[in-house]
Amino acid sequence: MQDPLTVRNSPRGIFCTRTLNLRSISVIGYDMDYTLIHYNVMAWEGRAYDYGMGNLKSMGFLVDDLEFDPDLVIRGLIMDKVKGNLVKADRFGYIKRVMHGTQMLPTRAVSEIYGRELVDLRKEDTWEFLNTLFSVSEAVMFMQMVDKLDQGLVPAELGPLDYKGLYNAVSKALFRAHVEGQLKSEIMAEPERFVEPDPELPLALLDQKEAGKRLLLITNSDYHYTNKMMNHAFNRFLPNDMGWRDLFEMVIVSARKPEFFQISHPLYEVVTEDGLLRPCFKANSGENLNIVTVVI
């Protein structure tokens, strides 16, 4: 019998914040970015910031004096797009700490601004939860540009902007970097610079598979990027010439979460290494998740 202390300290252990009995769990789903693929935050978010700021500059904003500050923001915080704030809320949604622009606000100011208001992430016009790719760089850009707006340093020819309009400009600048593939092309060319592989992680998933669990990978990243990142971070650590695809019963790329779980898009199968697609399933509204359940 294994020493409980050894099990507790195992780098391949599974840790949770509540009681979880995995005996009744037959399928385990994973995201890729920041879940199975761990990025060097300074490198990844720093370059995302650089591309985003370059796009803001092309839009007419004055950004030459700004630089990426990796210590300003962490994932898990929430942006108030209407007030130009970054907030930390407890698990009930009560706001505990607030930063306006790059300046922390005193407790009294927080109470005056929000009182007993609760963060409601369903109000997407107001709140933006930092939990995705580009979240850190987006929040750093927004907070720094809030300072610029407060200081009257946004060029008049850009029109009258409030904090929400400023957020939209920042979001558009980063969206261009994402859609145009500027950053991901750079990462695919130098994955060793941006990705921090964990040798134990592929083996932890293999443990789960050998224990009878069926594994899913559902990611918003496209096929070519997913294949490149997973090859780099997984294949060398798997035994007997296994590849990362051998771990998963199903891999869904370009999923467009969270919409994937709520509405349906056409589903295609990747049939060649080059990414050639063919129609796979026809789903009615809201049936994507049902199809996954049936296939698994």
Domains belonging to the chain, first-starting first, are 4-38+197-295 (3.40.50.1000), 41-189 (no CATH)
> Which pLDDT value is given to residue 258?
76
> Which pLDDT value is given to residue 263?
72
Summarize pLDDT for 175-230 with one digit per residue, the tens.
Answer: 888 767 778 889 999 999 999 999 999 999 999 999 999 999 999 888 999 999 99
**1: exposed, middle or buried (Cβ count in 10 Å: 0-12, 13-18, 19+):** exposed
Contact call for residues 36 and 30 (beta carbons, < 8 A): yes
Is 39 strand, coil or helix?
strand
Q: Where are the alpha helices (DSSP H) in the chain?
A: 4-8, 41-59, 107-114, 135-150, 163-179, 182-189, 191-194, 200-210, 223-234, 288-295
Summarize pLDDT for 243-277 with one digit per residue, the tens.
Answer: 999 999 999 998 877 777 777 777 778 877 767 77
pLDDT band at 1 (very low <50, low <70, confident <90, very high): very low
Summarize pLDDT for 105-131 with one digit per residue, the tens.
Answer: 999 999 999 999 999 999 999 999 998
Summarize pLDDT for 41-64 with one digit per residue, the tens.
Answer: 889 889 999 999 999 999 999 999
Q: How far is CA 149 from CA 75, 86, 101, 114, 128, in A?
A: 24, 16, 9, 21, 20
Is 100 strand, coil or helix?
strand
Q: What angle do CA 42, 47, 71 make, to 5 degrees?
A: 35
Sheet holding 27-30, edge to edge: 27-30, 214-218, 250-252
What is the bridge-based pairing of β-strands 214-218 and 27-30? parallel
Q: Which residue(s) pair with 127 in the sheet?
A: 80
